[in-house]
Amino acid sequence: MTKSDELLGYIKASSYRYKIIKALEGRKLTPKDLAKETSIPLSHVSNTLAELLDKELVVCLTPKLKKGRLYDLTKESMKAVNDLE
């Protein structure tokens, strides 16, 4: 099993992780944008982003901001997104 396979399994194991990763594909979004786009409650988006940050699947582009933080995919998660298709 490769690291890419593990990440793919991790993403697919949660509908929230899957929806957030797909929403971030090719875009930079705030948690509020993600909540609107995915219909996931904002608190769950925040928790899921924390999980994805921990696994290095997303990166916060504006960590010093209290509100309006922008998130993007990492190179690792972009590889996994290609396999989600």
Residues in the chain: 85
DSSP E strands, the chain: 58-60, 71-73
Report, in this order, helix, strand and coil percent for the chain, each rounded to 5. 60, 10, 30
Q: Determine the pLDDT at residue 36.
A: 97
Domain map (residue ranges) of the chain: 3-84
pTM of the model: 0.90
Q: Determine the pLDDT at residue 31.
A: 97
The residue whose two tokens read 């989600």 is 84
pLDDT in tens, the chain (85 residues): 677 788 888 999 999 999 999 999 999 999 999 999 999 999 999 999 999 999 999 999 999 999 999 999 998 888 877 776 6
Around 55, how many Cα atoms within 13 Å sit in the side-chain half-sphere? 20
Q: Determine the pLDDT at residue 3.
A: 75
Burial class (CB in 10 A: 0-12, 13-18, 19+), 36: middle
Q: Determine the pLDDT at residue 78.
A: 85
Q: Which CATH number is 3-84 given?
A: 1.10.10.10
Q: Determine the pLDDT at residue 20.
A: 96
